[in-house]
Structure 1
Amino acid sequence: MPTLSALLPLALLPLAFTAPVQPSQQAVRLVGSSPASTLSPEQIVKRDLTKLLGTRQPAPRASSHHQRSNTVPITNVIKNGLNRLQTFAGPLKVGTPAQQLPVLFDTGSSDLVLLSACLDGCPNGYFKPDASSSFVNTTTETAAAYAGGAVLYGSAAYETVQIGDTTVRGQRFLAGTDGELTGTTNAAGVMGLAPIVNPYAGVGGDTNWLQAAVAAGSLPANEFSLYFGRAAGAVSELVLGGIDSAHYQGEVVSMPNAPKGAFTWGASVAGTVVDGQQVDSREMIAVVDSGTEVNYVPRRVAAQIYLQLNGTLQNTAQQVVMGAVYDVDFYTFPCNSSLPVGFSFTEASSTEPMYMKPQDVAWYMYSRLPSKSKGTCEGAFVGVDINYPFTETPAALLGLPWLKSFTSVYSFGADGKSPAVSFATSK
């Protein structure tokens, strides 16, 4: 697996570099946002479950007066004032001549969505189609739906899109011109990095930007990696065609993407472990989603995890998603009682469990106690019983808390058709 010894200076903020970049690999610096609070835990759960369960059927027609043809469930990463998690945005260039915009890189969706008009003051800028000679619009109207009821309306369009040094021409995307792009506190769009285009939702087209780059042989290896720094101001990056060895330690553990032919990046979980003890042997399909603030696991698994932590309190709320009612379990516990939580994976290159760091098991966004305590943490694992779409296998979602602990690699295989996911413990 290729490694990266230096970073390409493509940050949104001016940065100084002294080491040369290996010409075959590209890194995009991801910049965290300032604190912002917009979504409740219930809204976050509804958004994330709608995103996953929405793959069961085509998205519904928009019900507003705009009469758009379909809805794209897109996840945005929110930062709350009480939360140590951040949103992460990196630069994307679009059009001719190129216009640079900050976008969120999301492994849980496949579409590119860009603001293409100045909405809500456009603090992060927007794509200007009239200033590009390569912009091609269509008459296909579509929309991107967000938590809280916000919808971004627009049309499917084609444009030249560049990330790092890799350019794809004629890339289909949603050019949003009306409505609201909510939750993106430091971005003007979302770049979906899912392994294949989901035919049941999206702006249409046969390939997304990443698939097109792989098919054209534009990357030195058919893979990309993500690293999210934990501390405020720490480096975070997307690496196209490799992995930055400076950000991880130990073995890079690989496993085939699960299930076969999935629209998402994921892995098959063989068991759940807490501090060296297996607490549940339930098999799950774990979707790896950089656009999710928490980790979702079956309710029984969540209960077994928190049973090992002293002073845990549980709160159950009901959430309606796509007409079905789900019981969702939230947990709080004393921050100093956190323990390493992890999973063993089926067909992985190592049989050893992979553990999240204890500090990442605590999700600081909201406290469920009647009176908030400075030493009380919200658990990063939320319990909800859902199955992976089109299967009877329980599903889990591994979001930013998991990805803070691990540098993740997403590979299409040498033939471009054998997707795999890898994790290495971040430093």
Structure 2
Amino acid sequence: MLARHIILFVSYTACLVQAQAQRLTLSILPDPSFNLLSGEIIVSQQLNSWGIKLGPISLGLDIDLSALGLKKREATRSRSRSRTRARLLHPITENDNKTDERREERRLLGLDLGLLNLGLNFGGSKTAQQSKSSSKALINLNLDADLSGLFSWGDADNVARGERGDTEWFTYISIGTPPQSLPILPDTGSSDLFVFGPTCSSCNLYNHTSFDPHSSSTYKNTSGNWAYYYADGSGAMGYTSSDMVSFGEDQTVVRAQMDIAIATAVAGSDFRSSMRSGVMGLGLDAMSTIKSIDEARGKTLFSRLVKSKSLSENVLGIRLTKGRQARGVVYEEGQGQYTFGGIEENYLRGGREGLAWVDVMSQNYWGITMEDISVGSNSILSQDRTTPRRAIIDTGTTLIITSDSASSMIHSNIIGSWQDPKSSLWYIPCSTSYPSTGNVFFTISGRKSGVPIEDLAWKRSNQFDGMCISGVQGGMEGFTVLGDMFIKNHYVVLSYGSEANGGRIQVGLGDRTDVLPIL
């Protein structure tokens, strides 16, 4: 039986609200692709779209940095972008090629140096260093050259991943006047609002929904070209626009003028098999690829509400409730709630005082310092000097993705775990349980935030009897991605700061009252 997800949005607004703010329930459509795709395909799409190359495990010990896959992965990105452009019939000029080559050189250098685990986040030019975002860098160096795009936590052209799995939370928003309803995925790991357009012949509109700008009286075409290229060879292209975005049952509670990308073409199987017709990015503004006429207004819905002083608090509370599952089989999908401008204290052990706060160190992602990873009482990072001590909060990624070394050490503590030499995917026995195997913890702001070992038996394998695809995978050498596997076990608060804390952008993590204590 197909299940339903629920996301509740609460927004306490002033200048953007046309009616008294109230708690809104937005129904979620089940996605048949969950039943059509094997776990191997889903996790492969997710890792590929992060730029993680799957394939035979290499044990080469060459000191050349390329042996660790960084250069190979960058070359794959470059080739996939070229192939995607061809699929989308996007002409390539000589200037385009030169620009891409320069961009690739900068990113390649950044990745290679990042491998040395320098823990640096260069602020860039002197002007950039005076900004609030660069002042939060781990180490600021006074450099005249603008290197702000070199040492960031992610590439602006590769920030959206495959958002698929047994637990995907998506909802409806409406765009235009009168409002047109579209299913979208709220994604804290990207910062663009992207929807299918009516002329997109490759968007499979027979089973997807598109936004028709000609039917909206508030629509504005900002005449900017837009393109998004994914590492797995998929992508989208179109044009930038502006229109009213609203949500609520009567579409009168929240209405905000937003920058939107409207796709005229998409490529890749990920778009075809999902019911989603767009993504609503909730990351930091710097990661947005849509050019805006008024950059000061805020690039994402969250940022726009904050900068317009429309929220009673500059916070976004996230509660993803896990589905009912056992041994790699999900019997009922979970629910959840996004609260703009407030925190659900009744779901927090200890209320607000139960939140542990940590400063955001990235200019793009909700990126934070991570002190350790452990399985039970066994510390992983104390034995691993190469994995960066940083992580991001990403609702657009289903699993937890960390470095190859940390992933290997985690699974070395799980009896019967196995890495497929052909695909490099990690598997654990579906019968894995506590206390015979310790739970996995991520130490952030001095507190150990756990994931039950049973949750790591994520989905039954279609290839190996009795084995489940692990909820932790490797290949991410720059930072650890704390996706829904982590988020659904905790209450997460994203904060743009207040006068009380000096306007510091922060992430708050707390234990949930509806989740059993993780020991």
TM-score category (smaller protein): 0.7 to 0.9
User: What is the alpha-carbon distance in structure 2 between the residues aligned to residue 210 and residue 9 of structure 1?
Assistant: 11
Name structure 2 gaps, 5 residues minimum. Answer: 1-6, 11-18, 53-72, 101-156, 324-331, 515-519
1:407 maps to 491
User: What is the alpha-carbon distance in structure 1 between the residues aligned to residue 403 and residue 218 of structure 2?
Assistant: 47
Note if contact 2:167-2:334 (Cα within 8 Å) is conserved in structure 1: no
**Hey, which of these two has a bigger chunk of strand by percent?**
1
TM-score (normalised: structure 1): 0.77
Q: Residue 279 of structure 2 is aligned with which of 172, 190, 209?
A: 190
Note if contact 1:290-1:403 (Cα within 8 Å) is conserved in structure 2: yes
Cα RMSD (Å): 3.4
Which letter does structure 2 place at the counterpart of 1:386? E
User: What is the alpha-carbon distance in structure 1 between the residues aligned to residue 281 and residue 300 of structure 2?
Assistant: 8
1:219 maps to 311
Q: What is the Cα deviation at residue 172 of structure 1?
A: 1.3
Q: What is the Cα deviation at residue 75 of structure 1?
A: 2.4
1:115 maps to 196
- What does residue range 197-216 of structure 1 map to in structure 2 within 5 Å? 197-198=286-287, 202-205=289-292, 206=295, 207-216=299-308
- What does residue range 251-330 of structure 1 map to in structure 2 within 5 Å? 252-259=354-361, 261-281=362-382, 284-316=389-421, 329-330=424-425
Report the CA distance shift for 1:147/1:29 in structure 2 as closer, same or farther (over 3 A): farther
Q: What is the Cα deviation at residue 162 of structure 1?
A: 2.0
Q: What is the Cα deviation at residue 182 of structure 1?
A: 5.2
**Hey, which of these two has a bigger chunk of helix by percent?**
2
What secondary structure does 1:46 align onto?
helix
Give the fraction of aligned pairs with identical amino acids, expressed as a percent: 20
Note if contact 2:9-2:24 (Cα within 8 Å) is conserved in structure 1: no
- What does residue range 5-404 of structure 1 map to in structure 2 within 5 Å? 23=21, 28=26, 30=28, 32-34=30-32, 35=34, 36-37=36-37, 39=41, 41-49=43-51, 63-64=85-86, 65-67=89-91, 73-79=159-165, 85-117=166-198, 119-146=203-230, 148-164=232-248, 165-169=253-257, 171-180=258-267, 183=270, 185-198=274-287, 202-205=289-292, 206=295, 207-231=299-323, 232-250=332-350, 252-259=354-361, 261-281=362-382, 284-316=389-421, 329-338=424-433, 339-345=438-444, 348=445, 351-364=446-459, 366=461, 372-373=464-465, 375-384=466-475, 386-387=477-478, 395-404=479-488
Which letter does structure 2 place at the counterpart of 1:269? M
Name structure 1 gaps, 5 residues minimum. Answer: 1-6, 11-20, 80-84, 319-328, 388-394
User: What is the alpha-carbon distance in structure 1 between the residues aligned to residue 50 and residue 346 of structure 2?
Assistant: 32
User: What is the alpha-carbon distance in structure 2 between the residues aligned to residue 42 and residue 8 of structure 1?
Assistant: 30
Q: What is the Cα deviation at residue 153 of structure 1?
A: 2.0
Q: Deviations over 1:363-409 (max 9, x none)?
A: 21646xxx521x3222111122522xxxxxxx111111112212221
What secondary structure does 1:149 align onto?
coil
User: What is the alpha-carbon distance in structure 1 between the residues aligned to residue 395 and residue 461 of structure 2?
Assistant: 20
Note if contact 1:43-1:147 (Cα within 8 Å) is conserved in structure 2: no
Which letter does structure 1 place at the counterpart of 2:509? F
What secondary structure does 1:301 align onto?
helix
Q: Please say which structure displays the higher CA radius of gyration.
A: 2
Q: Deviations over 1:260-280 (max 9, x none)?
A: x52001221111121233233
Note if contact 2:189-2:282 (Cα within 8 Å) is conserved in structure 1: yes
